């Protein structure tokens, strides 16, 4: 099967969590955001599904994945679908449910990271909520960042099957997502994340192990992985990196 991934062009965003799973799972897929509009890519290709003209059950927002006749939205839901098909989740049902739970917790983490620079509203520019963003970031870095990192550090330590991964004996899609979050934090908050990650040797090792995997390394080196920038979830504003 050839999968089709739909997301906004020019940013990693939440689509990157799906891309990493597709790359690690050696899936054959089209990244519609990277295709020119004249070749059926870009925003117009995505909008025909979002406006409900093409499907009876349209997704609310990207990313979404077209798999044959199925159209699957929400990052965690897409990964729940792809996990067993790409060998990126434990085989037992409890392991699959646990991995999904971890991914949903990562989604909460990502939302809080996003809200450091857009605490009032996503429709406003950062400059219109800069004072509120500074206040939100101070609280996030002081309290929420160490709480989330400490939780996931402990999950690895309590994994009875592995001292390296979050769920089960082998790498799962939750590990790929965790590594992406750490990479994003290092871009957005280089000073604060460096300090917070000192207490998380397992997470640092997980990040390094994920980005050292052959398929992920090839993807990063291919030029298809977009760079972090200040239009995505993870944004670097030096004044917020307290």
Write down all domains in the chain, each with its CATH number in brackets: 3-86 (3.40.30.10), 93-213 (1.20.1050.10)
pTM listed for this prediction: 0.97
pLDDT in tens, 17-45: 999 999 999 999 999 999 999 888 999 99
Categorize the per-residue pLDDT at 54 as very low, low, confident or very high, splitting at 50, 70 and 90: confident
pLDDT in tens, 72-124: 999 999 999 999 999 999 999 999 999 999 999 999 999 999 999 999 999 99
d(CA 67, CA 115): 31
d(CA 125, CA 132): 12
pLDDT in tens, 130-155: 999 999 999 999 999 999 999 999 99
d(CA 242, CA 104): 27
Q: What is the mean pLDDT of the chain?
A: 96
């Amino acid at each position: 099967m050839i999968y089709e991934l739909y997301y906004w062009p020019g940013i990693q965003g939440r689509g990157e969590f799906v891309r990493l799973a597709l790359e690690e799972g050696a899936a054959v897929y089209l990244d519609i955001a990277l295709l020119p509009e004249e070749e059926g890519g870009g925003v117009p290709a995505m909008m025909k599904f979002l406006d409900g003209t093409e499907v009876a059950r349209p997704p609310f927002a990207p990313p979404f994945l077209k798999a044959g006749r199925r159209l699957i939205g929400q990052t965690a839901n897409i990964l729940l679908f792809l996990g067993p098909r790409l060998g990126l989740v434990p085989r037992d049902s409890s392991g699959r449910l646990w991995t999904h739970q971890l991914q949903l917790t990562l989604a909460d983490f990502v939302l809080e990271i996003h809200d450091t620079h857009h605490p009032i509203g996503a429709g406003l520019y950062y400059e219109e909520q800069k004072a509120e963003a500074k206040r939100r970031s101070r609280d996030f870095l002081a309290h929420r960042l160490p709480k989330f990192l400490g939780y996931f550090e402990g999950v690895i330590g309590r994994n009875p099957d592995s001292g390296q991964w979050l769920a089960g004996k082998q790498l799962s899609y939750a590990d790929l997502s965790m590594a992406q979050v750490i990479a994003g934090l290092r871009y957005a908050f280089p000073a604060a994340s460096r300090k917070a990650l000192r207490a998380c040797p397992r997470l640092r090792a997980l990040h390094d192990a994920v980005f050292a995997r052959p398929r992920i390394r090839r993807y990063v080196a291919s030029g298809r992985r977009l760079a972090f920038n200040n239009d995505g979830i993870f944004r670097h504003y030096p004044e917020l990196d307290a």
